Structure formats: structure tokens, C-alpha cells
Structure 1
């Protein structure tokens, strides 16, 4: 389903199996090449300690801003399709994965639907989401506070910049 005009949304990307940086870059290039999505911003690339299930490799994380004519669930479907095309493997909850793409926010939408909760229900607790998101959306309001305010109280221990270029995803 398409809406009439472009709406702003934010995405969180991550992975820690295989070549997650290349998988995330390819996913972003895929999205940007679509007629119904265009990237408006991409964060720097971060290397982050595992969260939830800690006996696994470090993750790479990034966030992206998109403008899309897709409805929120349709945007989620596109992200899931890209994950499948990139041979996503998810062995267990919070466990290792080749590529994960989450819809974090969608302009004007707050919902608690079974398939897609917006804003993402756990994003405000996760430094590995807030830190890259603050690269381009520090003033974005999420649950009544800015991303920058959420970040100020988040656990960011061990998170480091893996690539300081905002163009990391365009590299061959």
C-alpha cells in the first residue's frame, strides 16, 4: 500500500555474522535504488558489544533516515525482503545474525500492532540504536523526549565508531 506523499521514517541496521558491514551497505543501496524509498541520511558505522545475549561476536550497527511512500507495514515488508535476499540467518532471539533491519520510527505514527510497534518499543533503552540515530536525528521526538535526551541516559559502554565517514555504505 502506498500513501500519496513521502513520509519520514528511521531504520536501525545491525549484524555480526559473515560480512555485516557489506550486508548493511548493500541493504541501504537496495533501499535507495527503489522508487518508493529514498535515503535522506545515514549514520556513521558503529562497532558495539553484544546485547541481551552476550556470548557472541561484536555487532556493527548503523541507522538510516528514509523518505517513503510506503505505509509502515509495507516498509517493514521491504526490509524483511531485503534481509531474506541477503541470506539473513537468525539463530536465536538477540543472537548472532547476518543482517537485521528494524523500522524505528515512522512520521506521525504511534501504534501497538502485533506486526509492527511504532516507535520501536525498545529503541529508547539501546545505546547501539540511539548513538547512530543521534548522528542525524538528535532532535527527533520519541515518546515525548528527543533522541539526544534518551541517549544521555543510555548505556553506551563499549560502543565505538568503526567508520567515521557518513559515506561508508557507498564504498565498493
Structure 2
């Protein structure tokens, strides 16, 4: 029962954050150049797309958990709330480091940290190496798909990567 409540709270938090990003952050911080036509994909296309998907997932998470909970008493487990705060801090750090380290290096570190946080057991050398391999593989896959197919430019860091 506590797990459903925690998932409900997380769904509400992410829905609120997604709506803030869609209605306030993207319109203020993402500038669209004047030379782009309506048929061109602008710089705000992917942030709107990803945030809209996050909105839909959060909303479905809320609806699913409301059906499972008869009384709505929100009691967040301290361990899970600390994990949520740590994840939020990771994304803020990622936002700051992406312009310094570049997309590839900072995304590998972010996904490595998120994978290691979701690992239930103690961190061993093999689990860290497997997590690094998975995060590097998916980061490079995303990078090559978006740069070659969608013609999206990613931030390059001081190493040019």
C-alpha cells in the first residue's frame, strides 16, 4: 500500500514538473531562430516531445495508483524521498555539466549513476562495468540516431566530444 502511495506522489511531482517545463521553462529559455519556418523542426521540438511523454506517463501513473488506493494518505518513505532528492540533484548537475563535458560524457555519467542507484545489491566491479557498458552503449546509440537521422546537434564539451 505504501508503494502505491509513493508512486502516486512521484507521479504527481513529475506531472507538476513536466507542466512547469512545458508552460514556463521551454517558452522562456528555448529560443527559436527567426529563419526557421513552420515546417522545420525547431530547437524546442525535442524538449516539448520528451516533456509531453513524461506528462502522459505521469498522468497514467497517477490514474493507476488512484484506482489502487481507497484512502489517500500520503506518507513518503524517507529512503525513497532521499533517493528522489538525489535524482533531482543529479539532473541539476547534469544540466550544469553538459556544456562543460559535452552530451556523450555527461550522459554516460548520469545514466551510470541512475543504473547504479537502481541496482538492489552492493556495487561490485562487475556490476559497475556492466552498468558502464550499458550506459555507454545506449548513450552512443541515442547520439548516433539523433545526429544522423534527426540531424540534431548536441553540446560538445571541452574535449570536442
Say yes or no: TM over 0.5: no
TM class, shorter-length: under 0.3
Q: TM-score by structure 2 length?
A: 0.27
Q: Which has the larger radius of gyration?
A: 2
Q: TM-score by structure 1 length?
A: 0.26
**Bigger share in strand:** 1
**Bigger share in helix:** 2
